[in-house]
Amino acid sequence: MTVADSPSGLAVDQHTNTVYVANTGNEFFATGYANLTSSVSVINGATCNGQVTSGCATTPFAVPVGGFDWDVAVNPATDQIYVTSIVDSDVAVINGATCNGRDTSGCQPRLLRLRTGGWPTYIGLDPSDGAMYIPDNVDQAVSVFPLPS
């Protein structure tokens, strides 16, 4: 399956059978400057998986999100999709109930009000204690946020 430029992080929402892929954009690797229009590909896991490949030939819908998206994580309790952007230290949230492999009508991301430190990379979610952990590569720290309800 072909997705947008330079896929990086990947997460699966088992509830909606959707695969989300953070695409950084390849401009950074070619020029040293980050792409400000990175995206998240939304793949229908029902039609593109290890058993069924009928949907794998089509390019999936891509949601424009931030700059140089690095990772994506799914909160299985709320179907919220989180995406880190290392250019602007933001975390975007996508509603997985209206932005998934079957329905892309609500794929408008929103930014969390909290900002991470420099160069936020991977996302660790702990729905049991309501926390999101994001390492900040430049600051040598970890940002800790409450999961939005």
Which tens digits make up the pLDDT trace of 31-67? Answer: 555 555 689 999 999 999 999 999 999 999 999 887 7
Looking at residue 88, what is its pLDDT?
79
DSSP 109: -
pLDDT confidence band for 4 (50 / 70 / 90):
confident
Task: Report the distance separating Cα 115 and Cα 14, nearest Å.
Answer: 28
Task: Report the distance separating Cα 136 and Cα 124, nearest Å.
Answer: 12
Q: Over the range 17-47, which residues count as b (16 or more CB within 10 Å of their CB) and which as e?
A: bbbbbbbbbebbeeeeebbeebbbbbbbbeb
Looking at residue 32, what is its pLDDT?
55
Q: What is the pLDDT of residues 79-138, one digit of tens each?
A: 999 999 888 788 999 999 999 999 999 999 999 888 888 888 899 999 899 999 999 988
Looking at residue 66, what is its pLDDT?
75
Looking at residue 94, what is its pLDDT?
96
Which CATH number describes the domain made up of 7-146?
A: 2.120.10.30
Looking at residue 42, what is its pLDDT?
97
Both tokens of 147, joined, read 């999961």
Task: Report the distance separating Cα 86 and Cα 83, nearest Å.
Answer: 10
